[in-house]
């Protein structure tokens, strides 16, 4: 359990358990120690397969693209498919997702050189509870005024195409990666749209919605009005993020409160859990591997 949203295990940093008998253990240490009991039946990995984080965009972030599993070999990067769930959004907030259907490498290269990149980007207005799927190969940027929960493949490969002319205090611009980016962009994808969640379960007045499913992760939303039994799922670990409200988690004598902003890692070997909203209307984001 941790209370700042991020769940990661990378050479450059690790999540650490903040409470319970494993307090102080890093996520990578748990992976090495518990393996299949943590990840799920038949699953092994040298690194934790997902990375979960919060992105608070006070200004429009850089225009980027990540490789996918099919093209990462072209540049030697790690594949990275991700999705964004909008926790909060200022009026008029938006994201950029994809490029126009007529875009080509030469057109994009010219637009970048002439500072006209925005003309080729697909702009999608967003508000709280919207969600956007971002497969590797899709050009994207997060607009100012968005607080997002991001779930992604565990990768740190980002190719920056455009940074809106920003420079640091010494007048230096951040590095761009235009040529590798052009090698991994998906030029033939349909125009992206917001995801359309669908209800998958109702339980005593609480409801579970599936938001996104792909080979690398699944994201769901639990709207908790009453106590909810989260049944055991031995196929995969699960990550719970308390998006709104405050909940109590109980299981076999264990009891803990998880306030707004808490991230919980539920091992695949865990038995049924009871989730109790301490006030009606808690929202829990649930992530796992389908």
For residue 213, indicate whether it is catalytic: no
Residue 4 pLDDT > 70 = no
- For CATH 2.60.120.10, the residue range(s) in the chain are 52-184, 198-288
Structure tokens at 28: 């990578």
Checking DSSP bridges between strand 13-14 and strand 63-65, what pairing results, if any? Answer: unpaired
Residue 256: name the closest of 273, 237, 281 by CA: 273
Residue 2 pLDDT > 60 = no
Phi, psi for residue 29 in degrees, rounded to 5: -65, -40
- The pLDDT-based confidence of 215 (bands split at 50, 70, 90) is very high
Select 198-288's CATH number: 2.60.40.1930, 2.10.109.10, 3.65.10.10, 2.60.120.10. 2.60.120.10
For the domain 52-184, what is the CATH code? 2.60.120.10
Q: Note the pLDDT tens digit of each residue in 264-283.
A: 999 999 999 999 999 888 99
Annotated catalytic residue, options 3, 74, 116, 160 = 160
């Amino acid at each position: 359990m941790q209370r700042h949203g991020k769940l990661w295990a990378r050479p450059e940093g690790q999540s650490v358990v903040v409470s319970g008998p494993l307090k102080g253990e890093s996520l990578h240490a748990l992976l090495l120690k518990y393996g299949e009991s943590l990840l799920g039946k038949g699953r092994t990995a040298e690194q934790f397969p997902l990375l979960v984080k919060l992105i608070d965009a006070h200004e429009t972030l850089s225009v980027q693209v990540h490789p996918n599993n099919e093209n990462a070999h072209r540049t030697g990067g790690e594949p990275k498919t991700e999705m964004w769930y909008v926790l909060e959004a200022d009026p008029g907030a938006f994201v950029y997702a994809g490029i126009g259907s007529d875009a080509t490498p030469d057109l994009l290269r010219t637009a970048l050189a002439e500072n006209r990149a925005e003309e080729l980007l697909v702009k999608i207005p967003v508000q709280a509870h919207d969600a956007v799927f971002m497969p590797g190969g899709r050009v994207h940027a997060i607009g100012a005024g968005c607080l997002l929960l991001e779930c992604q493949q565990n990768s740190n490969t980002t190719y920056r195409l455009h940074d809106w002319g920003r420079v640091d205090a010494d007048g230096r611009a951040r590095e761009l990666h235009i040529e590798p980016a052009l090698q991994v962009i998906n030029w033939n994808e349909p125009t992206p749209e917001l995801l359309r969640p669908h209800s998958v379960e109702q339980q005593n007045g609480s409801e579970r919605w599936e938001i996104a499913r792909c080979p690398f992760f699944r994201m769901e939303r639990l709207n908790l009005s009453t106590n909810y039994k989260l049944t055991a799922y031995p196929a995969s670990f699960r990550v719970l993020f308390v998006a709104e409200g405050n909940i109590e988690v109980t299981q076999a004598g264990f009891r803990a409160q998880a306030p707004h902003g808490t991230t919980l890692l539920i091992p695949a070997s865990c038995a049924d859990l009871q989730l109790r909203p301490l006030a009606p209307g808690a929202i829990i984001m649930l992530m796992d591997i389908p």
